[in-house]
Amino acid sequence: MRMLPTVLLGLLAAGSLAGGELTAGWQALAGYRADEALKIFAAGARAPDPAVAREARLGQAVALLAKQPVTAGQVDEARRVCTALADGGPDDPALAARFLLGRIAQHHQERPDPAEAARQFRRLIAAAEASTWAQSALSRLALLQLYALDLARPPAERLAATEKLLAQAHVPAVAGELHVALAEAIFFYRLPGAQALPHLLAAERLGGTDRVGRADVLVQIAELSRLAGNRAQAAKYYRQFLQENPRDSANYTARRRLADMEAPPAAAPGGR
């Protein structure tokens, strides 16, 4: 299930919401034992402590979306539970539920609803911008704005609107993710590659990519710098790519390009 790692990481970042009473349920979900998790969370939902009960209902929603095969009825019930949680208070289960509502609209419905997903993510960001859940929603919202919403608008306008989300990214890795998304959109829409270079440089500095993604960023920076005539910067990033990825299939080309960048520039025709 695509949303499960994000949910578990979000709960971990937020700390224990209701003590250790529901730990076994989350561990069962992490082990892809959704049926077991549903039983644990169903018992927790009857707890007299409201915090325990609300976290348990959140767990029920996640488990419903993880239990295979996922049926339309499960999705509808998860949406109902999340709506009640999201509208029931400003606590962490409410924020997590709002995030899940966006993911349900984006990925779990039989017919995805990008506009509804964006609406939920925007409500979440407006309500608690610095929260783990809102920060996780930023990259999802960015992709919706870049590829699924307002498609009548020129890509350059959608990119400009999405760049504004950077001001709401309070975690370096989240900002890095957004910069990568913007750079990839520039390539996808065949806009001038030079526009992607500042985003790639920022992404390299901020992080937020896995090892393979970082390798791609390093090569792209090197290539765009080479095309722009910035030999020193191109050499720096070819060298860094080779140091970090000694067995990558792109190494042969990177070594050749690095040698070209480190060689003295060719004299202009007619020069001395």
pLDDT for position 265: 78
Structural domain containing residue 259: 210-264
**Is 251's pLDDT higher than 60?**
yes
**Is 111's pLDDT higher than 80?**
yes
**Is 260's pLDDT higher than 70?**
yes
Asked, for residue 142, whether it belongs to a domain, the answer is no
Mean pLDDT of the chain: 92
Instruction: Quote the percentage of the chain above a pLDDT of 70.
Output: 90
108 lies in the same domain as 2: yes
Instruction: Quote the percentage of the chain above a pLDDT of 90.
Output: 84
- Per-residue three-class SS string for the chain: CCCHHHHHHHHHHHCCCECECCHHHHHHHHCCCHHHHHHHHHHHCCCCCHHHHHHHHHHHHHHHHHCCCCCHHHHHHHHHHHHHHHCCCCCHHHHHHHHHHHHHHHHHCCCCCHHHHHHHHHHHHHHCCCCHHHHHHHHHHHHHHHHCCCCCCCHHHHHHHHHHHHHHCCCHHHHHHHHHHHHHHHHHCCCCHHHCHHHHHHHHHHCCCCHHHHHHHHHHHHHHHHHCCCHHHHHHHHHHHHHHCCCCCCHHHHHHHHHHHHCCCCCCCCCC
Average pLDDT, integer, range 62-79: 96
Average pLDDT, integer, range 238-252: 95
23-37, 114-128, 151-165, 258-272: range with lowest mean pLDDT: 258-272
Average pLDDT, integer, range 31-48: 94
212 pLDDT band, cuts 50/70/90, is very high
Is the pTM higher than 0.75?
Answer: yes
Report how many domains make up the chain. 2
**Is 179's pLDDT higher than 70?**
yes
Q: Which of 79, 112, 145 is the last residue of a domain?
A: 112
Q: Which of 112, 138, 154 is the last residue of a domain?
A: 112
**Is 6's pLDDT higher than 90?**
no
Asked, for residue 43, whether it belongs to a domain, the answer is yes
Q: Which of 112, 146, 179 is the last residue of a domain?
A: 112
Where is pLDDT greater, at 65 or 18? 65
